[in-house]
Amino acid sequence: MATEDTRVPVTILTGFLGAGKTTLLNRILTEEHGLRIAVIENEFGEIGIDHELVINTDEELFEMNNGCICCTVRGDLIRILGNLMKRRDKFDHILIETTGLADPGPVVQTFFADEEMQDKLKVNAVVTLVDAKHILLHIDDSEEAKEQIAFADVIILNKSDLVTPAELDSLERRIRGMNALAKIHRTTNAQLPIANVLDVGGFNLDRAMELDPHFLEEEDDEHDHSHCDHEHGHCEHDHDHSDCDHEHGDCKHEEHHHHHHHHHDETVTSVALEHVGDCDGEKLNAWLSELLRTKGQDIFRTKGIVAVRNNPKRIVFQGVHMIMNAADGGPWGERQRKSVLVFIGRHLDRAELTKAFQACTL
Amino acid sequence: MGLKKYAAVQADDCILNVQWAGDHLCVTPVTGAILVVDKEGEITSALPDHGLGNGASSATPDLVATCGFDGRVRFHSLPACEQVAEVKLGRSVIERVVWSPDGQHLAVGFGKNLLILDRKGETVATFGEHQTSVTDAAWNPKNAREVASVSGGGARMWRLGATEPFAKFDWGGASLSVAWSPDGRWLVTGDQTASVHLYDFNRDYPLHIQGYETKVKAMAFSPDGKKLATGGSPMVTVWDCTPKNGPEGSTPGQLQFHQGDVEAIAWSPDGKYLATGDILGRLVLSANDKPVSAFQGENNITSLAWNPDGTLLAVGDGDGLVVVFQAV
């Protein structure tokens, strides 16, 4: 039996200047939701809310394993959150605001790469605010904007009243093409139920069953994926992930150095793969390990639910760059056994991924 | 030597640090009032907190400086505990303050700068700009005008009156804490990764010590500067700093007295005894790498401090309890 999860959820709020982060944060800080939320904001960021629950730090990156971008984490968060976690009077939720120009990767990686952070905190979601009117001006030439969209579990298309419905539809399609998994909300003045921000479980393997079925329908209309949804909550594994847990590729390669910024021709896309029937667990594990080891730099998020031969339980996993966590996702029961994998990243070669995945299927 | 419970005091929250200031003990919890306590355990004064969280305080026999998440530093006189100065440096978190050995200057890591304040809270020097936030500072015990700062991976050594560091070393990680050996020869940084860097002033040479199982959460030089004890995992590692090249190439003493991770270490002022405390609440007193006394508490031990004459050992825990032991 798993023990009760006492880890404090963390929500990472990203978005460009003017997208509405201040409005949203102010709402979260002042609205009556019964939660005690500490907000960590960048000292030099644009927000500067004067509130007793706001903590100012300086975004401070360091590489845990010599030069590997996927192991770049936020040192300030490790220290400040380490202090907060010692408190007797724990917070219900931690909200971390990043500057508009920040890559959300290191913030997320902090909670997977540092053991103490992993023990005490869990990432709820990356929430990205998008200025519906202005995003198109920088989406093509801003790597940060693409990364913020690619990493997101929730995308809030704010200021949606400033564009026409047709423009909004077009923008949503564009974003959906980049990130197939995020929940997209259209708002004005960042007005949306707080639960849509604070109760997402985007990294929660117990909730990994919520892979967005609509996406696959859009991707490939001939399949009906409606039955892969929303069975969760009975994942009583004890996080014995054997060799799947925290799979981490070789970080010593030169090509892993961070040199992809400011290339204007790199596109961010999502690739979803599906196979009705079982996979060969060993082959799949070997392929994913190799894929993330060699391409993890370009793969922001990975999610999947797989049916492994002779295993009555679903295997669910999620990854951030090269770091991957897997868990048993409860019995298949009466459901059709099938495997779904979703990758969000740059330079994704759909044909190659499909071929490699098919080689792991039975 | 054995340990006998002598006094106790309860603070509001997990103890961040305990420090003796003459006959008084300054007790800083992570939240709530900072307590000034006499050696009988009586609270002399409860100093105001620093908002969402306190930073580590620092005390001289006649002045205590407190800091925290509110970006402020406050000075209170001892033993009267009257506020003599308050400085609001800005919005940024202040994680700790450190008095110089002569008690004249206070080192404050504030954002990317190391600020030096005088006893009135006036800024007398700004050392920077570091690449990332200054996380800790340590003064040269042999020279009260020299101070080291650590930030992202490396250290800068500064001299009051100069604007550039007189020594430095860099590496590509991040440092959490720093200590300067009492003989002035060594500077040690505890890193975010499982390693320490030991800088030899004699050779202008940083030695990278790896092989730890965990982050090094506690480091203490013996009072003669000859030994460096480090902890983080259940094993306490004691390095011999006396050879020409220091611990380089040597095998450290490995003290396996604990089941839980050791997060607090303090040498007795005469250097004979090493007190170590772990997250399972066990306090061990050892001499010459052998345990001589132990005590089991209820909560994780977070901080240890001997009083100046080595007769009392204050032990702070994760539940806010501070027990003062008498050495018998």
pLDDT value for A203: 81
pLDDT value for B325: 97
pLDDT value for A2: 53
* Contact check, Cβ <8 Å, B152/A67: no
- The 3 state secondary structure assigned to A249-294 is CCCCCHHHCCCCCCCCCCCEEEEEEEEECCECHHHHHHHHHHHHHH
Q: Which H/E stretch holds residue A135?
A: helix A135-138
Same domain? For A170 and A29 the reply is: yes
Q: Does B68 touch chain A (CB under 8 A)?
A: no
Residue A306 domain flag: yes
A 74-133: CB under 8 A from B? 75-76, 78-80, 83-84, 86-89, 114-116
Judge residue B328's burial from the number of C-beta atoms within 10 Å of its C-beta, 0-12 exposed, 13-18 middle, 19 or more buried: exposed
Same domain? For A50 and A154 the reply is: yes
Of A58, A86, A87, the CB nearest to B92: A58
Chosen domain end from A210, A230, A260: A210
| CATH number, domain containing residue A44 | 3.40.50.300
* Contact check, Cβ <8 Å, A53/B172: no
Residue A2 domain flag: no
State the CB neighbour count (10 A cutoff) for residue A5: 11
* Count: domains in chain A: 2
Q: Which of the listed ranges A44-53, A237-246, B308-317 does the model predict with the highest average pLDDT?
A: B308-317
Mean pLDDT lowest among A111-125, A143-157, A319-333 = A319-333
Mean pLDDT lowest among A211-225, A332-346, B152-166, B254-268 = A211-225
* Contact check, Cβ <8 Å, B318/A87: no
- For A289-317, give the DSSP string: HHHHHHHTTTEEEEEEEEEBTT-SEEEEE
Nearest CA in chain B to A78: B192
pLDDT value for A237: 30
- Rounded-to-integer distance, Cα A334 and Cα A331, Å: 9
State the CB neighbour count (10 A cutoff) for residue B101: 15
A34 φψ region: left (φ > 0), alpha (ψ -120 to 50), beta (else): left
Q: Which of the listed ranges A49-63, A215-229, B81-95 does the model predict with the highest average pLDDT?
A: B81-95
* Contact check, Cβ <8 Å, A75/B51: no
Does residue A214 have a pLDDT over 80? no
Does residue A265 have a pLDDT over 60? no
What is the arrangement of strands in the sheet containing A93-97, beginning at the earlier edge strand?
A: A54-57, A37-42, A93-97, A8-15, A121-131, A154-158, A183-186
Mean pLDDT in residue range A183-209? 86
pLDDT value for B32: 97
Does residue B190 have a pLDDT over 60? yes
Backbone angles phi and psi of B46, in degrees to 5? -115, 110
B93 CB neighbours in chain A (<8 A) are 55-57, 80
Does residue A81 have a pLDDT over 50? yes
Cβ(B326)–Cβ(B39) under 8 Å? no
pLDDT value for A152: 94
Which pair of structure tokens corresponds to residue B20? 């003796």
Range of the domain at A272: 268-358
pLDDT value for A45: 60
Q: Does B92 touch chain A (CB under 8 A)?
A: yes
Residue with tokens 């220091």: B246
Confidence of residue A44 (pLDDT cuts 50, 70, 90): low
What's the gap in Å between the CA of B276 and the closest CA on chain A?
Answer: 20
| CATH number, domain containing residue A292 | 3.30.1220.10
Mean of pLDDT over chain A: 81
Confidence of residue A32 (pLDDT cuts 50, 70, 90): confident
Q: Does B14 touch chain A (CB under 8 A)?
A: yes
* Contact check, Cβ <8 Å, B172/A48: no
Same domain? For A174 and A285 the reply is: no
Residue A259 domain flag: no
- Helix segments in chain B, DSSP class H: none
Does residue A95 have a pLDDT over 70? yes
- Rounded-to-integer distance, Cα B166 and Cα B168, Å: 7
Nearest to A271 by CA among A150, A166, A183, A169: A150
Chosen domain end from A170, A192, A210: A210
Nearest CA in chain B to A57: B92
Strands (E), A66-218: 72-74, 93-97, 121-131, 154-158, 183-186
* Contact check, Cβ <8 Å, B133/A76: yes
Q: Does B49 touch chain A (CB under 8 A)?
A: no
- Rounded-to-integer distance, Cα B196 and Cα B216, Å: 7
Same domain? For A191 and A275 the reply is: no
Does residue A241 have a pLDDT over 50? no
Residue A23 domain flag: yes
pLDDT value for A10: 97
Confidence of residue A238 (pLDDT cuts 50, 70, 90): very low
Does residue B171 have a pLDDT over 90? no
Mean pLDDT in residue range B269-296? 97
Mean pLDDT in residue range A23-27? 91
Cβ(A61)–Cβ(A68) under 8 Å? no
Q: Does A72 touch chain B (CB under 8 A)?
A: no
* Contact check, Cβ <8 Å, A52/B112: no
Confidence of residue A43 (pLDDT cuts 50, 70, 90): low
For A120-145, what is each residue's pLDDT tens digit? 999 999 999 999 999 888 788 888 89
Same domain? For A27 and A158 the reply is: yes
pLDDT value for B324: 97
* Contact check, Cβ <8 Å, B172/A63: yes
For A273-317, what is each residue's pLDDT tens digit? 999 999 999 999 999 999 998 999 899 999 999 999 999 999 998
Nearest CA in chain A to B13: A88
Nearest to B293 by CA among B302, B303, B301, B284: B284
Judge residue A173's burial from the number of C-beta atoms within 10 Å of its C-beta, 0-12 exposed, 13-18 middle, 19 or more buried: exposed
Q: Does A63 touch chain B (CB under 8 A)?
A: yes
pLDDT value for A57: 87
- Rounded-to-integer distance, Cα A78 and Cα A109, Å: 11
Same domain? For A200 and A273 the reply is: no
Does residue B124 have a pLDDT over 50? yes
Cβ(B167)–Cβ(B157) under 8 Å? yes
Residue A176 domain flag: yes
Q: Give me the half-sphere count of Cα atoms (radius 13 Å) on the Cβ side of residue A127.
A: 28
What's the gap in Å between the CA of A62 and the closest CA on chain B?
Answer: 6
Does residue A41 have a pLDDT over 80? yes
pLDDT value for B136: 96
Is the pTM value of this prediction over 0.90? no
Mean pLDDT in residue range A39-62? 79
B53 CB neighbours in chain A (<8 A) are 55, 83-84, 87
Mean pLDDT in residue range B95-112? 96
Mean pLDDT in residue range B90-96? 92
Higher pLDDT, A316 or A64: A316
Cβ(B33)–Cβ(B46) under 8 Å? yes
Mean pLDDT in residue range A269-276? 91
pLDDT value for B164: 96
Cβ(A267)–Cβ(A348) under 8 Å? no
pLDDT value for A216: 47
Residue A332 domain flag: yes
Does residue B199 have a pLDDT over 70? yes
- Rounded-to-integer distance, Cα A228 and Cα B307, Å: 65
Does residue A233 have a pLDDT over 60? no
What's the gap in Å between the CA of B173 and the closest CA on chain A?
Answer: 6
Cβ(B274)–Cβ(B267) under 8 Å? yes
pLDDT value for A138: 79
Does residue A212 have a pLDDT over 80? no
Of A58, A75, A87, the CB nearest to B192: A75
pLDDT value for A206: 63
Does residue B310 have a pLDDT over 60? yes
* Contact check, Cβ <8 Å, B93/A48: no
Does residue A247 have a pLDDT over 70? no
What is the arrangement of strands in the sheet containing B63-67, beginning at the earlier edge strand?
A: B58-60, B63-67, B72-77, B83-88
Mean pLDDT in residue range A322-337? 87
- Rounded-to-integer distance, Cα A198 and Cα A161, Å: 24
Q: Which of A64, A68, A83, A85 to mutate to test the interface with B (most CBs of B within 10 A)?
A: A83
Same domain? For A61 and A202 the reply is: yes
User: For chain B, how far is it from start to end, CA to CA, in angstroms?
Assistant: 6
* Contact check, Cβ <8 Å, A88/B176: no
Same domain? For A194 and A280 the reply is: no
* Contact check, Cβ <8 Å, B318/A66: no
3-state secondary structure at position A170: helix
Nearest to A36 by CA among A82, A110, A92, A117: A92
Distances (CA, A) of B209 to A30, B187, B191, B203, B273: 48, 13, 10, 16, 24
Which pair of structure tokens corresponds to residue B34? 């900072």
pLDDT value for A257: 35
Mean pLDDT in residue range A222-251? 31
Residue A197 domain flag: yes
Chosen domain end from A165, A190, A210: A210
* Contact check, Cβ <8 Å, B13/A38: no
Does residue B95 have a pLDDT over 90? yes
Same domain? For A21 and A158 the reply is: yes
Does residue B26 have a pLDDT over 90? yes
Q: Which of A73, A88, A252 to mutate to test the interface with B (most CBs of B within 10 A)?
A: A88
- Rounded-to-integer distance, Cα B184 and Cα B200, Å: 9
Kindly give, in sequence order, each residue whose CB lies less than 8 Å from that of residue B86, ignoring residues fewer than 6 positions away. Answer: B72, B73, B74, B75, B121
Residue A245 domain flag: no
Nearest to A202 by CA among A290, A101, A300: A300
Same domain? For A53 and A198 the reply is: yes
Same domain? For A63 and A194 the reply is: yes
Does residue A223 have a pLDDT over 80? no
Cβ(A51)–Cβ(A135) under 8 Å? no
pLDDT value for A66: 59
What's the gap in Å between the CA of A84 and the closest CA on chain B?
Answer: 7
What b/e sequence results for A103-120 when a residue is b if at least 16 CB atoms lie within 10 Å of its CB, and e otherwise? bbbbbbbbbbbbeebbeb
B72 CB neighbours in chain A (<8 A) are none
pLDDT value for A359: 96
Mean pLDDT in residue range B187-193? 93
Q: Which of B12, B17, B31, B213 to mutate to test the interface with A (most CBs of A within 10 A)?
A: B31
Of A52, A58, A64, the CB nearest to B193: A64
Q: Give me the half-sphere count of Cα atoms (radius 13 Å) on the Cβ side of residue A106.
A: 24
A76 CB neighbours in chain B (<8 A) are 132-133
Q: What are the beta bridge partners of residue B188?
A: B179, B198
Kindly give, in sequence order, each residue whose CB lies less than 8 Å from that of residue A174, ignoring residues fewer than 6 positions away. Answer: A139
What's the gap in Å between the CA of B132 and the closest CA on chain A?
Answer: 6
pLDDT value for A219: 42
Mean of pLDDT over chain B: 95
What's the gap in Å between the CA of A71 and the closest CA on chain B?
Answer: 11
pLDDT value for B304: 98
Judge residue A27's burial from the number of C-beta atoms within 10 Å of its C-beta, 0-12 exposed, 13-18 middle, 19 or more buried: middle
- Rounded-to-integer distance, Cα B327 and Cα B311, Å: 5
* Contact check, Cβ <8 Å, A43/B91: yes
Same domain? For A48 and A190 the reply is: yes
Mean pLDDT in residue range B225-251? 94
